[in-house]
Amino acid sequence: MPQHLAVETLGGGVRLITLQRPQALNALTTALLAELAQALAEAEADPHTQVVVLTGNRKAFAAGADLKEMAERDLTGILNDPRQSSWEQIRRFSKPLIAAVNGFALGGGCELAMHADIIIAGEDARFGQPEINLGIMPGAGGTQRLPRTVGKSLAMQMVLTGEAIDARHALRAGLVSEVTQPELVVERALQLARLIAGKAPLALRLAKEALLKAMDTDLASGLRLERHAFTVLAGTRDREEGIAAFQEKRPAQFSGH
Ligand code: HXC
């Protein structure tokens, strides 16, 4: 049983993972990250789970790496420690992942939100990379995902000043796709998750892979990957089912084959 997060299987192909270290604003300890990686590995292996929603609480999604733990550690070892392999496992999660963010998403917390495929934010959410104030810099993808998402100028501003941006700014910059009232964030994320969970699993997986590829490849390679994925899906039973359902004016029942 995980100690620092709650995992709920909600039916309809959706799992909700809630970070639960409220006393430290969900700061990411090595143990918490390992539990999260494990929870995602279990969701990955479960054929009944199609989409995962990841959230924190009203005050914080996650306020970054746990600074008490970091104070006791040799930072030079951090790239080889279990925390990095947990990040790697989180990165490799191949089903759709939605972050429902209220309050602080700082440092590793902002980087964790950026591991999600879709971010829904409450009006009071704050996204920032304050590592520079600690004499360090982002270490879980912040310097790479942020500029790819919000552009160079804002990414530089956030990383070099350490100042956070609010939810509306994050929306304008494309870091999040929707802003809702704080009390509706999780519900909206679950609504999207249920919608996505009804789609063909293979199509979801390959569409996610192709979209992520767009972040780190040239157009020609991306188009090649897309064409290949499209061809793979063309040979699936779910493609036949999707088109048959359209013609028969009924909802599609996808099997994942
Ligand atoms: C450990 C933390 C914490 C953190 C907050 N807490 N952030 N503990 N690690 N990152 C603890 C506080 O010590 C305090 O516990 C409790 O949570 C409530 O926090 P307060 O500071 O009292 O709340 P508030 O005044 O509302 O300020 C909120 C805050 C501030 C602005 C978010 O807590 C803050 O600046 N936190 C640090 C944010 C940060 O620098 N994150 C980046 C970390 S570096 P006690 O017991 O003292 O009352 C990083 C690198 C990633 O993420 C590298 C990845 C490989």
**pLDDT, tens digit, 9 for 90 and up, residues 39-97:** 999 999 999 999 999 999 999 999 999 999 999 877 666 666 666 699 999 999 999 99
Go through the domains of the chain in sequence order and give each one's CATH number: 5-197 (3.90.226.10), 201-248 (1.10.12.10)
Ligand 1 pocket, residue 96 CB under 6 Å = no
Give the pLDDT of residue 1.
87
Mean pLDDT by 10 residues, the chain (257 residues): 96 97 97 97 97 98 96 72 83 98 98 98 98 97 97 98 98 98 98 98 97 95 97 96 97 94
Ligand 1 pocket, residue 32 CB under 6 Å = no
Ligand 1 pocket, residue 128 CB under 6 Å = no
What does the block give as tokens for 33?
């990250």
Angle at 229 between CA 226 and CA 233, to 5 degrees: 135
Give the pLDDT of residue 83.
62
> Are 59 and 25 in contact, with CB atoms under 8 Å apart?
yes
Give the pLDDT of residue 79.
63
Cα–Cα dist 17/54, whole Å: 5
* Number of Cβ within a 10 Å radius of residue 196: 19
The letter for the amino acid at 27 is A
What is the CA(135)–ligand 1 centre distance, in A?
15
Give the pLDDT of residue 80.
65
Give the pLDDT of residue 73.
79
What does the block give as tokens for 140?
């879980």
Give the pLDDT of residue 42.
98
Known catalytic residues are: 65, 108, 111, 131
Cα–Cα dist 147/245, whole Å: 41
User: In the chain, what is the greatest distance between 2 CA atoms, to the nearest angstrom?
Assistant: 63
For 184-239, the DSSP string reads GHHHHHHHHHHHHHTS-HHHHHHHHHHHHHHTSS-HHHHHHHHHHHHHHHHTSHHH
Please, which residues have CB within 8 angstroms of residue 33's CB and are 6 or more apart in sequence? 82, 83, 86, 87, 90
| Ligand 1 probe mutation, 36, 59, 67, most atoms within 8 A of CB | 67
User: What average pLDDT is seen over the chain?
Assistant: 96
What is the CA(54)–ligand 1 centre distance, in A?
20
Give the pLDDT of residue 82.
66
